[in-house]
Amino acid sequence: MILPIYIYGQPVLRKVADDITPDYPNLKELIANMYETMDNAEGVGLAAPQIGLPIRVVVINLDVLSDDFPEFKGYRKAFINPHIIETSGELEDMEEGCLSLPGIHENVKRAGKIRVTYLDESLQPHDEIVEGYLARVMQHEFDHLEGKMFIDHISTLRKQMIRGKLSSMLKGKVRCAYRYKAVKI
Q: Which is nearer to Ni ion, 70 or 92 (CB)?
A: 92
Largest Cα span, the chain? 45
Residue 88: which of 135, 137, 54, 122 has the closest Cα? 135
> In the complex, what is the shortest distance from the CB of residue 51 to Ni ion, in angstroms, rounded to a whole number?
12
Beta carbon nearer to Ni ion, 5 or 80: 5
Please report whether residue 46 would count as binding Ni ion according to CB under 5 A: no
- For position 98 contacting Ni ion by CB under 5 A, the verdict is yes
Closest chain position to Ni ion (CB) = 98
Using rule CB under 5 A, residue 108 touches Ni ion? no
Report CA-CA distances (Å) from 137 to 100, 113, 174. 15, 12, 24
Q: Residue 71: how many CB atoms within 10 A of its CB?
A: 11
Residue of 26, 32, 29, 24 lying closest to 55 (CA atoms) = 24
Closer by beta carbon to Ni ion, 98 or else 138 = 98
Catalytic site includes residue 141 = yes
Is 169 a binding residue for Ni ion by CB under 5 A? The answer is no
Give the residue numbers marked as catalytic.
141
Enumerate binding residues for Ni ion (CB under 5 A).
98
